[in-house]
Amino acid sequence: MSNAIKSQLKVYFPLALELLNQDTSTTLAAELLLRWPSLEALQKQPPHQLRKFFYAHHCRGEATMLRRLQLVQQGQPLTQDSAVIEPAAFRVQMLARQLKSLLSDIAHYDRKIAQLFAAHPDRFLFENLPGAGRALAPRLLSALGSDPKRWESAQEIATLNGIAPVRRASGKKSGKKASVHFRQACPKFLRQSFHEFAGCSIRYCGWARAYYEAQRAQGKGHHVALRALAFKWIRILFACWKQRIPYDPQRYLQALQQRGSIYGNAC
């Protein structure tokens, strides 16, 4: 639903995404779009009314407030075609109402997940992973599970969850070059979990950032580079999970240095 709102806003009201810091999953997003579903409606409001609205949603930072007010004041419509704006705004409001009605249930789920994760005996393997945080650590734990016999190798995890690519031979005869394809048949949520974790890790982990940048320097796209990084993380997580030893960044860097890896010097 959040993604559907974001998709609609890109069609006619992208300024809203800037005002919401690209997050369309909050009460702030739902209520802003229900009240002002278009740029025209938003720009009719005096600054003090906008301040009052954001203050009511605990957005009180003056620098952020001034930036938002300036965005509204200087905003230019993406389109002035009412045939585009009116149905898109109607759909955004419909989705915003649905989102608002679900937010309390989503919060309940989040609390329950946090409770279950805190009580899980394997949480120590995931709670301190760089960039995982409260959202991704439980998802990674669920992806690996608690049964020590569930996985035989990291390759098995990467293949099932869509991180490892599909390789297909270009012909029936041996010696033909294989082509590499993105894996479609997989649990999409689990693939996204590893993908998002890889993306978050480059902000907090030096070697992960260095590896990602090296992949990009080779001409690989953003998502291809993240999947390559996710594959490396899966190998690390599998070893930690199998041995029941938490990830230690210093220990891993030392191992990279001993192997002569260029990423072993990443801070």
pLDDT single digits (tens) 138-171: 999 999 998 888 899 999 999 888 887 766 655 5
What pLDDT, in 10s, does the model give residues 68-113? 999 999 999 999 999 999 999 999 999 999 999 998 898 899 999 9
Look at residues 144, 185, 143 and name the one whose alpha carbon lies nearest to residue 164: 185
What is the Cα–Cα distance from 129 to 255, expressed in whole angstroms? Answer: 17
Q: How many Cβ atoms are within 10 Å of 159's Cβ, its own excluded? A: 16
Please name the helix (run of DSSP H) or strand (run of DSSP E) that holds residue 167, with its range, or none: strand 166-169
What is the Cα–Cα distance from 97 to 90, expressed in whole angstroms? Answer: 11
pTM tops 0.75, yes or no: no
Please name the helix (run of DSSP H) or strand (run of DSSP E) that holds residue 64, with its range, or none: helix 62-74
What is the Cα–Cα distance from 254 to 239, expressed in whole angstroms? Answer: 16
